[in-house]
Amino acid sequence: MNVLPYGRQSIDEQDIAAVVEVLRSDFLTQGPAVQRFEAAVTDWCGARHGLAVANGTAALHLAAQALGLGPGDWLWTSPITFVASANCARYCGAQVDFVDVDPGTINLCPRRLAEKLQAAEKEGRLPKVVVPVHFGGQSCAMDEIQALAQKYGFRLMEDASHALGGTYLGERVGNCRWSDVVTHSFHPVKIVTSGEGGMMTTNDAALHQRMATLRSHGITRDPAQMVGESEGGWYYQQVELGYNYRMTDIQAMLGASQMNKLERFVARRREIAALYDKVLAGLPVTPLMRDSRAESAWHLYMIRLDLTAIPHTRREVFDRLRAQGILVNVHYIPVHLQPDYARLGFTAGMFPEAERYYQECITLPMFPAMTDDDVQRVRESLFMAVQ
Ligand SMILES: *Cc1c(COP(=O)(O)O)cnc(C)c1O
């Protein structure tokens, strides 16, 4: 059976030729392709600095650590995200808490955030870092969240893994207009891919330098950053404990080549989303609410099932679609319900909007190579699955 995955990469002959060129060159890693990819993403976003890393999870970890997150600190994020948005705090020895989502957009809710900050201030446990996640590619209400960051003095790290190519209030996601640092992912299901890969964009030169040092073992070759004098041309110093989170030139060249197609990819994703909106009208399902301030990059197209109007459970609808070769998915299992978070004291009932959404949601196939006929096929299969 011809299957439709929920997401997949689009690789063309130009991408393949670009990668082959790297394989024939002098550098497989620590060469020129990494800077080329960094420049492509940074220029697109309109940020000052960009730093490519091994994956989006490494980007979150380095950004959190460079913002000074450590033991005794709190990081807050959305419960409806991939686990990595929360795990980055724990890599730094900090603690995680969650802010419930807006029931329309399923993005971190600024009103809930304001309430939680007010309570936390009284208890003296304000967060050091908040991580809004642009769910499905639609930006969070960043102007409102930034105003709260200024009022309460926390740092902002946007998880834009879904949102490269999106905008908020007419400005491109990733330009750091609203935050200290924005993290990106280039996993194959994301908007553009480097196989595995991640990046941080920032306008803060000091933050950029700190992240660059942490990316490569905490080592510097810059005499200005050294303790004492350089001992010669071979000399380097480890000035803090870092990691090997570098991206290879093979990955970076694929990413750079993919960036040439970002605009086209996102335009096609928008067409597919508009077609879904049209053909799903009349079925007992609702797409997520649109925020008129944001243009989504449409990484994912989610629907909520009206389970009062459907004679099946979500699980049955999911299984019926999969049986038809429509490889739907569920984004996401609320992070606080994962066993490893339950161990930290989180329980069901703590974030009711997130939990309600999780009971009803299904992610439909969405990728640039999908045809209009594929969208019709998803519509027909969904129509049958909810009978
Ligand atoms: C994909 C993703 C990540 C992690 O990215 P990797 O490149 O897979 O490490 C983090 N946050 C969100 C919201 C993601 O979708």
Fold for 4-259, please state it: Aspartate Aminotransferase; domain 2 (3.40.640)
Question: Strand, coil or helix: what is 84?
Answer: helix
Closest to 48 (Cα-Cα) out of 194, 208, 213: 208
The domain limits of the chain are 4-259, 262-385
Tell whether the model's pLDDT for residue 85 goes beyond 90.
Answer: yes
Contacts of 241 (CB under 8 A, 6+ apart): 218
Share the mean pLDDT of the chain: 98
CA of 229 to the centre of ligand 1 (A): 40
Q: Is the CB of 55 under 6 A from ligand 1?
A: yes
Q: Is the CB of 162 under 6 A from ligand 1?
A: yes
In the chain, the amino acid numbered 324 is: Q
On the question of a common fold for 4-259 and 262-385, the answer reads no
Assessment of whether the complete model's pTM goes beyond 0.95 = yes
Contacts of 282 (CB under 8 A, 6+ apart): none
What does the pLDDT look like over 11-69, one tens digit per residue? 999 999 999 999 999 999 999 999 999 999 999 999 999 999 999 999 999 999 999 99
Q: Is the CB of 187 under 6 A from ligand 1?
A: yes
Q: What is the DSSP string of 19-75?
A: HHHHHTSS-SBSSHHHHHHHHHHHHHHT-SEEEEESSHHHHHHHHHHHTT--TT-EE
Range 262-385 classified under CATH 3.20.20.140: no
- Supply the pLDDT for residue 236: 97
Contacts of 273 (CB under 8 A, 6+ apart): 296, 298, 301, 366
Distance from C-alpha of 166 to C-alpha of 168, rounded to nearest angstrom: 7
What does the pLDDT look like over 304-323, one tens digit per residue? 999 999 999 999 999 999 99
- Supply the pLDDT for residue 1: 76
